[in-house]
Structure 1
Amino acid sequence: MENTRRRGAALEEAILQAAADELSETGFAALTMDRVAKRAGTNKNAIYRRWPDRLALGVAAYKKLTTEIQPPDTGSLRADALELLRRANQHLSSPLGAILRELLAAAGGAQALTGQLPEQSADAMTAMWLLVLGRAVARGEAAPEALHPRVATVAMVLLRNEFVTRGVPTVADGIIVDIVDEVFLPLVRRRGRS
């Protein structure tokens, strides 16, 4: 019988796949190094050499489960903002979103870990919203002064706040429309009039 011991990238991929499968099936709360090791056909030491703890492994596995989101380009700032928030709401309300919320709660204020999560990376989120807002500025829908990271991401922050402070499983579409129409659009349109 030939030795099929995996090393390097092949072993890392097997561990990540096993952890991603465990996350999908049981969530972060039930994720254990023992179960991941058994599922990957390796030992816990092989996991700990790559990820220092369960949370770091959970974050890496979550990244494997997600795909990169392309920003919408509908030709309208309002429609783009609504689409971005609706996509985020759908994700945060999904089983994968539940895993994300568990990871965020477990990470607490550990920015080094939360910044690795695709949806939580301040740079990635800001870049997407700035792109959408930049297109709106080019079309004359928003003031050039609105191209500021805090302004660009305020709608997303308010959506996340609904999940965090209210503990809702999903945000009603009326609230998403209010965030865009009552906060985001007036803010980006008034920036140049001060």
Structure 2
Amino acid sequence: MSLETGKRRRGSQLEAAILDAAWEQLVEGGYGAFTVEAVAERARTSRHVLYRRWPTRGDLALAAIRRGAVDHGALTADTGSLRGDVIALMTRANEDRPRIAAMLSVHLGTYYRETGTTPADLRQSVVGDSGEYLEEIFRRAVERGEIPSADLPARVKTLPGDLLRNEVLMTLAPVSEETIAGIVDEVFLPLVLKG
């Protein structure tokens, strides 16, 4: 991260530099090698600045994971169909998920032990229940007349993401386009459209 000589970073610019440095530190060395000192050095700031914002290394790691793992803005593309929207959502998630899944499963064992959390707790803290962008996709499908109602069981709505996550965790590799299409066409849409 470049820093212009003589310019002091403040506010959101400083926070972004710190969280980017923390994410890089987590990805490269895992939580076991993750220290406030290493992040401060990488971000070219002091430990005091970090501790003021994040009292523990666990707090700093969680903030870095939230920043590094989530890009909700790209998740709600309107392709013109429920099928296309769900495939676009899964494809976007598939681009980053293998790298993130590998890092979360391999590098964060110490984090889970130290904080007393589980991978499910971390996922909930980072992405919540993914409800907003899924609701947007289903709302558009109702408006287009593809489905009569967005009032579907939560498990049906989250099924494509759950199956994608399972594939990624089992292989630690990107899922093929054919597999994504199969999840949508053979499992998800028949449940949604069974009416």
TM-score by length of 1: 0.72
For residue 143 of structure 1, report the CA deviation from its aligned partner. 3.3
For residue 184 of structure 1, report the CA deviation from its aligned partner. 1.0
Show the counterpart of 1:64. Answer: 67
Task: Summarize deviations over 1:133-175 as a string: whole Å, max 9, x none.
Answer: 12112222223154443322211111112223x2432222222
Selected match of 2:91 from 67, 86, 110: 86
Give the Cα–Cα distance (whole angstroms) in 1 for the partners of residues 86 and 10 of structure 2. 45
Give the SS at the match of 1:151: helix
- Spell out the pairing of 1:128-147 with structure 2 (5 A cutoff): 128-144=133-149, 146-147=151-152
Show the counterpart of 2:161. Answer: 156
- Spell out the pairing of 1:12-91 with structure 2 (5 A cutoff): 12=15, 15-23=18-26, 26-29=28-31, 30-44=33-47, 46-65=49-68, 66-67=70-71, 68-91=73-96
For residue 78 of structure 1, report the CA deviation from its aligned partner. 0.9
Show the counterpart of 1:121. Answer: 128
For residue 22 of structure 1, report the CA deviation from its aligned partner. 2.6
Return 5+ residue gaps in structure 1 as ranges: none
Cα 1:74–1:15 change in 2 (3 A) is: closer
Show the counterpart of 1:173. Answer: 177
For residue 131 of structure 1, report the CA deviation from its aligned partner. 1.1
For residue 102 of structure 1, report the CA deviation from its aligned partner. 5.2
For residue 70 of structure 1, report the CA deviation from its aligned partner. 4.1
Which 10-residue stretch deviates more, 180-189 or 133-142? 133-142
Task: Summarize deviations over 1:92-139 as a string: whole Å, max 9, x none.
Answer: 13x45544555776444376653342xx221xx221112111211222
Give the Cα–Cα distance (whole angstroms) in 1 for the partners of residues 49 and 95 of structure 2. 35
Cα RMSD over matched residues? 3.3
TM-score by length of 2: 0.72
Show the counterpart of 1:109. Answer: 118
Q: Give yes or no for contact 2:18–2:40 (8 Å, CA) kept in 1.
A: yes
Show the counterpart of 1:182. Answer: 186
For residue 81 of structure 1, report the CA deviation from its aligned partner. 0.9
Cα 1:13–1:140 change in 2 (3 A) is: closer
Return 5+ residue gaps in structure 2 as ranges: 1-6
Cα 1:104–1:149 change in 2 (3 A) is: farther
Say which structure, 1 or 2, has more relative contact order (CA 8 Å, 6+ apart). 2
**Overall identity of the aligned pairs, in %:** 40
Task: Summarize deviations over 1:25-80 as a string: whole Å, max 9, x none.
Answer: x1534322221133344554553443243332122123334533240111111111
Cα 1:185–1:6 change in 2 (3 A) is: closer
Give the SS at the match of 1:114: helix
